[in-house]
Amino acid sequence: MNIHRPLLIACLFGLLPAAAQAAAPPSTDRIIVKWRGADSPVAPASTERVRGLAARLGQTLIRGRNIGGSMSVLQLDRSRTGSNLAATLRALRADPDVELAEPDSWVKIQAYAPSDPLFRDAFSYLGQFYERQWYLKSGQIASIRADAAWDITRGGSSPAASTVVVAVIDTGVRLDHPDLVGKLLPGYDFVSDALVANDGDGWDADPSDPGDYLTAEDLLNDKFKDGKCGAGSSFDQPTSSNWHGTRVSGLVAANTDNGEGIAGTGFNIRVLPARALGKCGGYESDVIAAMYWAAGLVPPPPYLKSTDLPVNAHPAQIINLSLGSAGACDTTYAAAVHDVTARGVLVVASAGNDGKQVGNPASCDGVLAVAGLRHVGTKVGYSNLGPEVGIAAPAGNCVNTGPTEPCLFALNTTTNMGAQTPIADTYSSPQYQPTYGTSFSSPLVSGTAGLMKAVNPALTPALLIARLKESARQFPGSSADATVQPSACVLPAVTAVQDRECICNTQVCGAGMLNAAGAVLAAQRPAVFAAVTGNGRQVTLDGSQSAAATGRSIASYLWTVESTSGGAASPTIVSPTQAHASVPAPSSGSYSLRLTVKDNLGSNDSAIVAIMASGDNTSTSPPPTADSGGGGTLSILFLLLAAMLLLARHMRLPAAMRG
Ligand SMILES: [Ca+2]
Ligand SMILES: [Ca+2]
Ligand SMILES: [Ca+2]
């Protein structure tokens, strides 16, 4: 073996082990009435007025609360339904004193309840009921409200009709899992080392996960001996397969509302499986190659000695990396993240499971790093933390459990029953392969971002991150289930470990708790891009790259002067209500302009662009990205990586699975 030194340590970040809307009620005993010509909107329904109405209708009506807008509630003598209710409403609406009359409908939190049995199921433990998919609902503080998001979008009308693709770069996937069949696009296997790959060869077109177990014999191999991948305190005991990529894929987008298994965050969005990890982890170069391929940025074949990588016909808009290594962002990851982000692809990565500083690549600029929350919204002990974290999401946590007791707040997902090679597909549960780790918080964010792209394909990675953050819910100031309150999370030092529950804040746990419903609502606002062109006295303004959400249209543009500085006079904008406008450059100083774009349903957003007195004023704010739709340019870095692969000398020794 050509083992030199461990450059980096790669591991899976998985631990082993409303809107309100009225619905037509079946019956009601209350009617809302808007009174005609009320003198005062706050006191429209005097007792006399209600008595008069009751007498004209020949019905018993009891005066209820005034609710504003000249409206008040009328209590009926009994509940009415069907034609009886319709007759009462007809009589009320015909009365000269009544402007409007509607049943006082029962309103519920909007939350779609799909048919997946594990989504609907709760299990009982010590007299308490625990929902298996609590993290997708709203019952716990950290729950992400995906069911309410599904009332706005399901990521497309069906998996086949969905235009959203999330790449899962991981250990591969069980292609035949009944809750993933039809959701998986043709992927690729980038594991270059046959021993790590466990499928007998290097790169190939089959991304199925053959299992990443380690035998006693494996652990004698130099490649795994120092990787701390074995079980036990000395990391020298055999391990079972993780089915990590299958678990992550199910959380992103298991088949949902199919009467089988679980619901997935992204509902109908699809998963592109790119395999880059095998036994004990994998090479960073394989991960980076998978990132370029997933983003649609691959060179035309042949570019490698042995394999012609097919063009990815389904480029991803989002790449999920539930993997990483200790240390700051390195230059190769930084370059890859830059290139795929410029292509319009959002990279979401798990923060890591050491209770330490955020690892690589989650710490790279442009990556949305996800920390792990307990069900009560505090940082789960094992989650890494720090200023690089963008947002926090449920990662799974076990409460007060011994070895034989269920993990009460695990994340249930798709997996396989094989201890080594795959056998029957199944689902993780509080008892079986209980799933927890920041590996599993990241796919909840990736699935949510997928729903946002379905709502508004024009959202760039930066806009997706901004709207995920602005919609995130505030961290609680205490732990709801701790008898002794945990301390506040603090900025991590290089050596310090915070592997206990702590109270999150925005300095170390990101902007807040993932809120899928809020994120999808935020995604409905237009994506606004203000482009400026001009090198001289006259500057042209172009807002036409702005885009409304799917199914909406742009109703108006408005350019306004936001501020002036350096002695610039406030300019007069020509055609300020058009997409295309113009303005004179300032003779000195600078000014900034705001472009506000409103859609046909009244949602709006804006962007600010600065214009200087001298020099080239050509810029777009915020920077747009290239389409992620197929083809792509050949990256120098990609070629370097391909060369590195051929010359692979340095094994990235993986760290232990922590359990
Ligand atoms: Ca292979
Ligand atoms: Ca393979
Ligand atoms: Ca399902």
Considering every ligand atom, which ligand is closest to the CA of 117?
Answer: 3
Do the Cβ atoms of 328 and 298 come closer than 8 Å?
no
Bridge-based pairing of strands 389-394 and 367-373 is parallel
Counting residues of the chain whose pLDDT is more than 90, the rounded percentage is 71
pLDDT at 82: 86
Which one-letter amino acid corresponds to residue 265? Answer: T
Query: Which residue, 246, 291, 292, 289, is CA-closest to 271?
Result: 246
CATH entry, 530-621, from 3.40.50.300, 3.40.710.10, 2.60.40.10, 3.30.460.10: 2.60.40.10
- Per residue in 116-142, pLDDT (tens digit) is 999 999 999 988 899 999 999 999 999
Rounded Cα gap, residues 276 and 346, in angstroms:
18
Mean pLDDT of 141-159: 97
- pLDDT band of 1, cuts 50, 70, 90: very low
Q: How far is the CA of 194 from the centre of ligand 2 (A)?
A: 9
Range 22-108 classified under CATH 3.30.70.80? yes
Q: What is the greatest pairwise CA distance in the chain?
A: 97
Query: Residue 572 phi/psi, 5° resolution?
Result: -100, 125
Considering every ligand atom, which ligand is closest to the CA of 133?
Answer: 3
pLDDT(473) > 50: yes
| Three-state DSSP state, 433 | coil
Would you list the domain boundaries of the chain? 22-108, 530-621
pLDDT(659) > 50: no
Q: How far is the CA of 178 from the centre of ligand 3 (A)?
A: 8
pLDDT at 307: 60
Q: Which of 81-95, 160-174, 341-355, 443-457 has the lowest mean pLDDT?
A: 81-95
Which one-letter amino acid corresponds to residue 426? Answer: T
Q: How far is the CA of 209 from the centre of ligand 2 (A)?
A: 7
Percentage helix, strand, coil for the chain under 3-state DSSP, each rounded to 5: 20, 25, 55
Q: How far is the CA of 254 from the centre of ligand 3 (A)?
A: 6
Counting residues of the chain whose pLDDT is more than 70, the rounded percentage is 87
- pLDDT band of 622, cuts 50, 70, 90: very high
Q: How far is the CA of 406 from the centre of ligand 2 (A)?
A: 34
Rounded Cα gap, residues 282 and 653, in angstroms:
7
Rounded Cα gap, residues 348 and 445, in angstroms:
7
Rounded Cα gap, residues 444 and 136, in angstroms:
9
Respond yes or no on whether the N-terminal peptide bond of residue 44 is cis (omega within 30° of 0).
Answer: no
pLDDT(5) > 60: no
Q: Do domains 22-108 and 530-621 have the same CATH topology?
A: no
Structure tokens at 600: 């046909």
Between 306 and 350, name the one with better pLDDT: 350
Q: How far is the CA of 207 from the centre of ligand 1 (A)?
A: 8
Q: How far is the CA of 190 from the centre of ligand 2 (A)?
A: 8
Do the Cβ atoms of 475 and 379 come closer than 8 Å?
no
Give the angle 189-656-439 at the CA atoms, nearest 5°.
60
> Which protein residues have their CB within 5 A of the ion that is ligand 2?
189, 199, 204, 206
Considering every ligand atom, which ligand is closest to the CA of 191?
Answer: 1
pLDDT(186) > 90: yes
pLDDT at 217: 94
Q: How far is the CA of 203 from the centre of ligand 1 (A)?
A: 5
pLDDT(367) > 80: yes
Note the pTM of the prediction, 2 decimals.
Answer: 0.82
Mean pLDDT of the chain: 87
Do the Cβ atoms of 483 and 469 come closer than 8 Å?
no
Q: How far is the CA of 308 from the centre of ligand 3 (A)?
A: 35
Do the Cβ atoms of 624 and 528 come closer than 8 Å?
no
Which one-letter amino acid corresponds to residue 376? Answer: V
Q: How far is the CA of 617 from the centre of ligand 2 (A)?
A: 50
Q: How far is the CA of 117 from the centre of ligand 2 (A)?
A: 32
Between 599 and 535, name the one with better pLDDT: 599
> Which protein residues have their CB within 5 A of the ion that is ligand 1?
189, 197, 199, 201, 204
Rounded Cα gap, residues 59 and 450, in angstroms:
54
Q: How far is the CA of 255 from the centre of ligand 3 (A)?
A: 4
pLDDT(207) > 90: yes
Structure tokens at 447: 């699935």
Rounded Cα gap, residues 282 and 275, in angstroms:
10
pLDDT(222) > 60: yes
Mean pLDDT of 241-251: 97
Rounded Cα gap, residues 452 and 13, in angstroms:
25
Q: How far is the CA of 206 from the centre of ligand 2 (A)?
A: 4
Q: How far is the CA of 310 from the centre of ligand 2 (A)?
A: 14
pLDDT at 558: 98
Respond yes or no on whether the N-terminal peptide bond of residue 361 is cis (omega within 30° of 0).
Answer: yes
Rounded Cα gap, residues 63 and 72, in angstroms:
8
- Per residue in 50-94, pLDDT (tens digit) is 999 999 999 899 988 888 888 889 999 888 888 889 999 999 999
Do the Cβ atoms of 467 and 523 come closer than 8 Å?
yes
Q: How far is the CA of 307 from the centre of ligand 2 (A)?
A: 13
pLDDT at 88: 93
pLDDT at 627: 56
Do the Cβ atoms of 426 and 415 come closer than 8 Å?
yes
Rounded Cα gap, residues 165 and 270, in angstroms:
5
Q: How far is the CA of 204 from the centre of ligand 2 (A)?
A: 5
pLDDT at 228: 82
- Angle between helical axes of 516-523 and 461-471 (0-180°, round to 10): 130
